[in-house]
Amino acid sequence: MPVDDSVLVEQAQAGDEQAFGELAARYEGKLRLYVWHIVGEEETARDLVQEALLKAWANLHRYDRTFRFSTWLFRIARNLAVDTLRRRRHIDVPLTAVDEEGEVRELPIRDALRSPLEQLANKQLAQALQAEIERLPAGLRELVVLRHFVGLQYQEIAELKKLPLGTVKNKLFRAHSVLREALAPFLGQLGGLE
């Protein structure tokens, strides 16, 4: 059974670099995916995640234990990513996920049980979904990425974004509605998107 974050944080605050290394390994893949969805470049995302981890290690004494460690770490990474965007004002959102090894991979959009025509429709849906996610306002796009690509729970997103839980749910509902409406032609062909 994995050691709880709070135990590792306590050990790291006492100077245990190995404990912090375990925390870093635990979150590096998700952080990289999250930052990649913000900045749109894998190399930049890797650099920013490393910077975020170094910043977290250097400022571990400032960590407020009333919040989850992951929330604090994601906030550091987000701030670095947003600062990078402010410098270049450009956002791309790749359709990717983190695999079991923590590597960022393109999402496979194929199904061996589907006909070639269905596979083509599925690929077109993935491309349309990516394009529609990119068209969402930055705030909604970030919530969609956190929920569906990074896999955070609503409460974790609320803590990270410093928003009420109801606001997070409402904004995600709005984002889903926009995406559902924009993708209606594809969804009709494929039987709907949950």
Please write the tens of the pLDDT for every residue from 128-170. Answer: 788 888 888 888 888 888 888 788 889 888 988 889 999 999 9
Q: Quote the domain boundaries for residue 124.
A: 109-190
Asked whether residue 18 is assigned to any structural domain, the reply reads: yes
74 shares its domain with 36: yes
pLDDT mean over 29-54: 89
Burial track 111-130 (b if 16+ CB lie within 10 A, e otherwise)? eeeeeeeeeeebeebbebbb
Asked whether residue 104 is assigned to any structural domain, the reply reads: no
State the Cα–Cα distance between residues 50 and 149, nearest whole angstrom.
Answer: 20
Asked whether residue 103 is assigned to any structural domain, the reply reads: no
Q: What's the CATH number where 121 sits?
A: 1.10.10.10
State the Cα–Cα distance between residues 176 and 183, nearest whole angstrom.
Answer: 10
Residue ending a domain, among 78, 98, 118, is 98
| Total structural domains within the chain | 2
pLDDT at 185: 74
What's the pLDDT tens digit per position in 75-113?
999 889 888 877 765 444 555 666 666 676 665 544 445
Q: What's the CATH number where 35 sits?
A: 1.10.1740.10
93 shares its domain with 115: no
- DSSP state letter for 14: T
